[in-house]
Amino acid sequence: MGKLTALAVRDAKPREKSYKMPDGGGLYLLVNPVSQKSPRGSKWWRYKYRFGGKEKLLALGTFPDTSLADAREKHAAARKLLAAGSDPSQQRKAEKVAGIERSANSFEVVAREWLAVKEPEWTPKQFEKERDRLENHAFSRIGGLPVADIGVAEIRPLLTHLVKRGHVEQAHRLRSQLSRVFRFAIAIERASRDPAADLRDTLPARNPQNYPTITDPLQVGELMRAIDGFTGTFHVHCALKLAPLWFCRPGEIRMAEWVHFDMESENPTYTVPPVNRKLKKAAKENPLTPSHIVPLSRQALEILRELRQITGHGRYLFPGARDPRRHMSDGAVNAALARIGYKGIMVGHGFRHMARTLLAEAGWSAEALERQMAHVEPGMAGVYNKAKHLAERRKIMQGWADLLDGLRVGRQVIGFNS
């Protein structure tokens, strides 16, 4: 045993044919000749032994990746298995199969399978959010672990890290998402429990935050004047002026197309198609899902007619700055508000809160307002009540535009629901 030296192994030169350098106990170094694949030759560690009356050979690595000391350590482990009545080659195969199985059942593999199953139910944007959350907060830490072996101890640090950074809402969303992945793993018989569920009560309570908005009439007037003074690009200025008039969701503004507008009829409207509304993917694709109607005030029409002279030749009202074939980015209106000094004070979505509050205070029908906000009624009323209240909503939208004009010039307009 131990016939070779590290120096002898290193200095062994290739010959015309392969030759062996024995170390004892069946361990030897096989020195191979020069070939196209190995211009300097190659050196393989091998262990020759007998099991069940048959001669067998076990590969123990190559030099220099596997040193003489490493080869002897592997050789000793194989001899120990052999002495215990196990075939080292079969043990190697079993370990390889186990490794493949562990890899196939890793958390990341199972989570990506879950994402693939859920993707048809989600919009592309929602899919990206779900995927990115896992990639950013889970895969780097627990992605390689077998999903069945993951417990509370492995998950808690992921959530604690987010909480310490002040991202409590993100921690809650991640915990819920992990729980859905584990439930999926249970359903496909790759895990037996959902450890993320056990951490539900360990997170601090959510701190719900509404979108920044303005509801004081005097401050609303100041905002309207600030919007009038915006000095950015013309179509972004138009979007900024239309946002309070329509109080649509931001996506319904930036994705608006000219074909969605009827500006010449007695009752001009912006018809928001389901695909642009805040709906689940199935509802967006359902041909029975109704569009949302936004009656256009005189003030909105004036802005649109000016805008049409600039962007009317294209598809979108508000084309992107880099690619006019695409609509403007989702941050354009918020960036414009920040530019006029309203960062953290007002956002695009805040116009909805502003309008809903002041319109309610003016005494308009809550039902008509909810229809104009495109809110879904809960319970059976939401299923059977299909009233659109369009006549009243036209009055609301024109009255709202007039109110904003009054506030812009400093008038105290108390009510307008006549």
Do 306 and 362 fall into the same domain? yes
Together in a domain, 289 and 400:
yes
d(CA 227, CA 57): 81
pLDDT at res. 383? 38
First to last CA, the chain: 105
Indicate if 300 and 397 belong to the same structural domain: yes
DSSP β-bridge partners for residue 28: 22, 46
Report pTM.
0.60
- Inside any domain, residue 210: no
Q: Is the pLDDT of residue 146 over 80?
A: yes
Q: How confident is the model at residue 35 (pLDDT cuts 50, 70, 90)?
A: confident
Percent over 70 (pLDDT), the chain: 91
Domain with 144 in it: what CATH number? 1.10.150.130
pLDDT in tens, 384-415: 344 568 899 999 999 999 999 999 988 755 45
Any domain includes 240? yes
Considering the domain architecture, whether residues 92 and 111 belong to the same structural domain is answered as: no
pLDDT in tens, 311-322: 999 999 999 888
Per-residue buried b or exposed e for 294-328, using 16+ beta carbons within 10 Å of the residue's own CB: bbbbebbeebbeebeeebeeeebbbbeeeeeeebb
Is 273 within the bounds of a domain? Answer: yes
In this structure, the answer to whether residues 227 and 376 fall within a common structural domain is yes
pLDDT over 50 (residue 380): no
Greater confidence, 283 or 48? 48
Q: Is residue 391 part of a domain?
A: yes
Given 96, 130, 156, the domain boundary residue is 96
The answer for residues whose C-beta is within 8 angstroms of residue 364's C-beta and 6 or more apart is 392, 396, 417
pLDDT of residue 99: 60
| pLDDT, position 385 | 43
Does one domain contain both 236 and 341?
Answer: yes
pLDDT of residue 49: 92
Residue type, 216: D
Question: Which tops the pLDDT comparison, 101 or 200?
Answer: 200
Calculate mean pLDDT across residues 162-177: 93
Q: Domains in the chain: how many in total?
A: 3
The reported pLDDT for the residue numbered 382 is: 41
Q: Considering the domain boundaries, does residue 91 fall inside one?
A: yes
Judged against a pLDDT cut of 70, whether residue 417 lies above it is answered with no
CATH assignment of the domain containing 23: 3.30.160.390
Q: Are residues 139 and 256 in the same domain?
A: no
Domain final residue, candidates 96, 131, 146: 96
33, 63, 96: which is the final residue of a domain?
A: 96
Residue 308 and residue 222 share a domain: yes
d(CA 227, CA 114): 45
pLDDT band for position 101 (cuts 50, 70, 90): low
Say if residue 254 is in the same domain as residue 323.
yes
Going by pLDDT thresholds of 50, 70 and 90, the confidence category of residue 381 is: very low
- Across all residues in the chain, what is the average pLDDT? 88
Per-residue model confidence as pLDDT tens digits over 255-309: 999 999 999 999 999 999 988 888 888 888 888 888 899 999 999 999 999 999 9
Tens of pLDDT, residues 176-211: 999 999 999 999 988 899 999 999 899 998 776 678
Domain presence at residue 21: yes
Q: Does residue 401 form part of some domain?
A: yes
* Residue 69 pLDDT greater than 70, yes or no: yes
Q: Do 344 and 380 belong together in one domain?
A: yes
Residues 190/110, Cβ–Cβ less than 8 Å:
yes
Assigned domain for 55 exists: yes
Cα 110 to Cα 127, 155, 330: the distances in Å are 16, 16, 32
Query: Which residue's structure tokens are 């005097």?
Result: 218
Contact yes or no for 235/311 (Cβ under 8 A):
yes
Answer yes or no: are the C-beta atoms of 34 and 48 closer than 8 Å: no
* CA distance linking residue 127 with residue 52, whole number of Å: 56
pLDDT at 23: 93
Output the pLDDT for position 277.
Answer: 86
* 56 & 178 share domain: no
What average pLDDT does range 338-363 have in this prediction? 91
Question: What integer is the mean pLDDT of 155-160?
Answer: 94
Rounded Cα–Cα distance for residues 58 and 271 (Å): 73
What is the average per-residue pLDDT within 92-100?
Answer: 64
For 254, the domain range is 217-408
Q: Both 88 and 114 in a single domain?
A: no
Quick check: 254 pLDDT over 80?
A: yes
Instruction: Tell me what the mean pLDDT of segment 216-233 comes to.
Output: 93
306 within 8 A of 317, measured Cβ to Cβ: no
Residue with tokens 């024995």: 22
